[in-house]
Structure 1
Amino acid sequence: MTITLISAGPMLTIQDAGRFGLRHMGVSPAGPVDAAAMALANALCGNEPGAAALEFSGPAGSFRTDQALRFAVTGSDCSIRIDTRLVAAGESHRLNPGETLSIAAPREATWAYAAFSGGIATPLVLGARATHLRSGLGGIEGRALRAGDRLPRGADSADTPCLRPARPLTGHRPLSESGPIRLIPGPQDDYFSAEALARLTECEFTVTPQRDRMAMVLGRTTLSAARGHDIVSDGTVPGSVQVPGSGMPLVLLAESQTTGGYPKIGTVASVDLARLAQLPVGAGFRFQLISRDEGEELLLAQRARLRKLLADLVAKPDSWMRSEYLLSCDLVGGFYDPGEILRPVMQGRGGETS
């Protein structure tokens, strides 16, 4: 069971949950920039949340399969076609041998995910399949994918229905948040003057084109470290906000280095890191300071919402003859016109209802 890439965009990589427990050896986790979006794509295909899928920024490319499968695209609205037929992001669909799946670039976001039933089953490297581009680990030869690559899939059941969320999602993303990006001060906030710390929350920052899976550089507002922009290198984590000599803060992401020698004015709370990373180039935002305990509580609540969303997925109408779909419908809560249930199914198959 394989997927063949007919074409591939420039930032198409294989990612799973990431490799952990190796930071002391200089190996950062890699994995998805937006873990919740990838978890949703996998769940829609019947996979475990951390199964290997595709992450892309820019067009994903086009794909064919040698056996029928289910796929889902999440993280952003995208133009998705099976041959010439448009299908929606945020729910799973069937792809059959002989058909070509084409996925265009994300709209109004930066990172999106395509999962396939059974998951991508490339060999494990240091316990994970995630691609770490800067060190050449994982995926296929540790690189971005390209035309002609063949991706093996794990075991899959052809009878499993396609799924959708019980309620429509905003922008095909699993978690909808708004407001300032929350930031936990430190560990080197004492390197900055009171004026610089005030600018951190009073001024607006923008997302610059200088970004990749390692980090994103912020613009519009600069910060100056009164005690200098060099420190003895110490540990960094995804979300660390380093301030180099240019004064333009950079936020570390999934493929960040494990140590750094720039002072870190704060750390983006995990609850908001993916939201920040998803902002398109030119978008403006502000920071809001919170405590570490507040950040932990917010993250736990967010994870609970994600678990509920994934647990509440329902079978799609294209599987209406299956018991899973019938059980997802409220057939006894009131009076129904049978055509309301059958009409979208028949129309999708080119039929008519009266």
Structure 2
Amino acid sequence: MIGLMVKQAGPMVTVQDLGRRGLQHAGVSGSGPMDVPSFRIANALVANAKGEAALEFAGTGGTFQVSRPVRFAVTGGAVGIRIDDKAVRPWESHDLFPGSTLVIGGLRNAVWGYLAISGGIDTPPVLGSRATHLRSGLGGHQGRRLQAGDSLPLGDAVSSPHLCLRTPWRSAQRFIHIVPGPQDDYFDTQAWAIFLGQPFIVSAMRDRMAQMLDGPVLLSRRGHDIVSDGTAPGSIQVPGSGRPIVLMAERQTTGGYPKIATVASVDLPRLAQTPSGRDIRFRRVSRERAEDLLIAEKLALGDALANLAEKSAILDASGDHPQ
């Protein structure tokens, strides 16, 4: 049964769940959300299971209507949201009824946003996932970005109170942690000094496959071509131009450029959410330290999800909710 109607869509609205696993050997990367924690918080706010499909958007969300009453939440960053003429907040759940219109505007200080609907987006799974993989046309809604006129089925919802996140999820941090390799030995001491000592600028040349970085040139002492080998989320390839390329959710599964380092999994969503034109710096850590940072974030996320607040219980004297 059709539940969600797209009246207008931003330039990069897709159906995503937590992605595909175990298919890289067949040339299919995982896809899934660019910012997994924000995706999971959106689902939790509407009492969905963590892997239910939701909508991901870049920059601007769009305009939506429903054919049945639903609960929804928008996460990812600060963003203007309206139900008809009423402004509502991100990072908390709201009701949407047939006949009303939900408008999600542009993100501020973030790139990727998430719209979760109670019951989840119930498109048919492809290779075990509903995630859209744009490069190969798999999953989601006809394997493509959403557009005006599309209609999506919704799953069965469970009842829940209106919820909100108690405190902001992601705090500012100066460095993006990286783990050297697998071709770190292709780069000499000077290249590493540049890589770790100078800022890079997040380029506007970005999509779900890769993120380009502007700034200083990195030169490989052993050349910029290798026998193609496997890639991981966050692999930092350095082609002949010397301009680093960070591989993201829809990366190719193999690559023929040397990879100086890999962005630590804990920081990959934060890099994805860094607006174009902002500068970043890299900090080298061991694999063990990167694992510790990821474990700590998973524990913090678990705590945040377990302690979502009922909005009715935290109204202040003015009737407002915390940001």
Asked whether 1:212 is paired with 2:207, we answer: yes
Tell me what 1:203 maps to: 198
Deviations 1:266-306 (CA, angstroms, capped at 9, x unpaired): 00000101101110011001100000010001100100000
Higher strand share: 2
1:97 to 1:244, Cα distance in 2 relative to 1, 3 A: same
Tell me what 2:160 maps to: 160
* Cα distance in structure 2, aligned partners of 1:24 and 1:307: 31
Alpha carbons 1:177, 1:275 under 8 Å: kept? no
* Cα distance in structure 1, aligned partners of 2:282 and 2:167: 29
* Cα distance in structure 2, aligned partners of 1:250 and 1:97: 44
**TM-aligned CA deviation for residue 168 of structure 1:** 2.9
Alpha carbons 2:66, 2:96 under 8 Å: kept? yes
1:301-312 matched pairs, under 5 angstroms: 301-312=296-307
SS at match of 2:236: strand
* Cα distance in structure 2, aligned partners of 1:39 and 1:260: 30
Deviations 1:293-335 (CA, angstroms, capped at 9, x unpaired): 1000110010000000000012212xxxxxxx5xxx6xxxxxx
Q: Structure 2 counterpart of 1:184, which letter?
A: V
Tell me what 1:333 maps to: none
Q: Structure 1 counterpart of 2:116, which letter?
A: A
SS at match of 1:39: helix
1:56 to 1:264, Cα distance in 2 relative to 1, 3 A: same
* Cα distance in structure 1, aligned partners of 2:55 and 2:131: 10
Asked whether 1:232 is paired with 2:227, we answer: yes
Asked whether 1:344 is paired with 2:319, we answer: yes
Alpha carbons 1:36, 1:175 under 8 Å: kept? no
Instruction: Give the TM-score normalised by the residue count of structure 2.
Output: 0.96
1:235-314 matched pairs, under 5 angstroms: 235-314=230-309
Tell me what 1:124 maps to: 125
Asked whether 1:176 is paired with 2:171, we answer: yes
Alpha carbons 2:48, 2:157 under 8 Å: kept? no
Q: Structure 2 counterpart of 1:160, which letter?
A: S
**TM-aligned CA deviation for residue 176 of structure 1:** 2.5
Q: How many residues align?
A: 319
**TM-aligned CA deviation for residue 175 of structure 1:** 3.1
Alpha carbons 1:175, 1:306 under 8 Å: kept? no
Larger radius of gyration: 1
* Cα distance in structure 1, aligned partners of 2:184 and 2:255: 15
1:225 to 1:96, Cα distance in 2 relative to 1, 3 A: same
Q: Structure 1 counterpart of 2:277, which letter?
A: G
Deviations 1:226-266 (CA, angstroms, capped at 9, x unpaired): 11000000000110000001100000000000000000000
* Cα distance in structure 2, aligned partners of 1:137 and 1:62: 24
**TM-aligned CA deviation for residue 341 of structure 1:** 6.2
Higher helix share: 1
Q: Percent identity?
A: 53
* Cα distance in structure 2, aligned partners of 1:168 and 1:198: 37
Alpha carbons 1:244, 1:262 under 8 Å: kept? yes
Asked whether 1:316 is paired with 2:314, we answer: no
SS at match of 1:78: strand
1:223 to 1:342, Cα distance in 2 relative to 1, 3 A: closer
* Cα distance in structure 2, aligned partners of 1:285 and 1:58: 20
* Cα distance in structure 1, aligned partners of 2:13 and 2:318: 38
Deviations 1:144-171 (CA, angstroms, capped at 9, x unpaired): 00111111111013x4221012x231xx
